[in-house]
Amino acid sequence: MSRIGKKPVTIPSGVTLTQNGQTITAKGPLGELSFTLPNVIEGKIEGDKFSVTPLASDKTARSMWGMSRTMVSNLIDGVTKGSQKNLELRGVGYRAALKGSELVLQLGYSHEINYTAPEGIKIVVPKPTIIQISGIDKQAVGQVAAIIRSYRKPEPYKGKGVRYEGEFVRSKEGKKK
């Protein structure tokens, strides 16, 4: 049984949640997002609550149950508060800068890495070693952060690389003579 799926999602004031078949659409002060429920899940809007229930008792329906509830909750959070991820750059000479709408990264390679953010994603560089990625779609923000991190993942010997804020990288001991 899904413990997350059992809890209904509260719809705050200022957000309108509409259901058209299996498609759930949330409109709020920051924008509009939609999610299509899987066929094995049924959603109901009851006053200021939204609840999901599985149509079958097989493993697929139970696994989609909690995920569907969380996705609808993320829609509501996105249109009210938005989502943000912070990245840290660690290493000598590692830095980031914005040139127009393009993120320019210097990560120890012989060339610069240029990254253009997709529509709906805002990138801010308050310091040369910190990148803030924000938007209303939590999945898209996480995907952009993962792409930027993949350019130079943190390595365990010196700890250099791009990491999420607060991420712990276990350091290994180097070679011994």
Question: What one-letter code names the amino acid at 173?
Answer: E
Q: How far apart are the first and last CA of the chain?
A: 55
Between CA 125 and CA 104 the distance in angstroms is: 10
Buried b (16+ CB within 10 A) or exposed e, 51-82: bbebeeeeeebeebbbbbbbbbbbbbbbbbeb
- Of 46, 80, 114, the domain-final residue: 80
133-153, pLDDT tens digit by residue? 999 999 999 999 999 999 999
- Per the structure, how many domains does the chain have? 2
What CATH number has the domain bearing residue 66? 3.90.930.12
Task: With respect to residue 93, please indicate whether it lies within any of the assigned structural domains.
Answer: yes
Which parts of the chain register pLDDT below 50? none
Residues 8, 56 within the same domain: yes
22 is in which domain, residue-wise? 3-80
Last residue of a domain, one of 60, 80, 100: 80
Q: Residue 165 to residues 133, 145, 156, 169: CA-CA distances in angstroms?
A: 12, 11, 16, 11
Instruction: Give CA–CA dist 82/8, Å, rounded.
Output: 20
pLDDT at position 167 is 87
Residues 127 and 146 reside in one and the same domain = yes
pTM comes to: 0.87
175 domain-assigned: no
Regarding whether 118 and 52 lie in a shared domain, the answer is no
Tell me what pLDDT residue 122 has: 94
Residues 51 and 95 in one domain: no
End position of a domain, from candidates 56, 80, 104 = 80
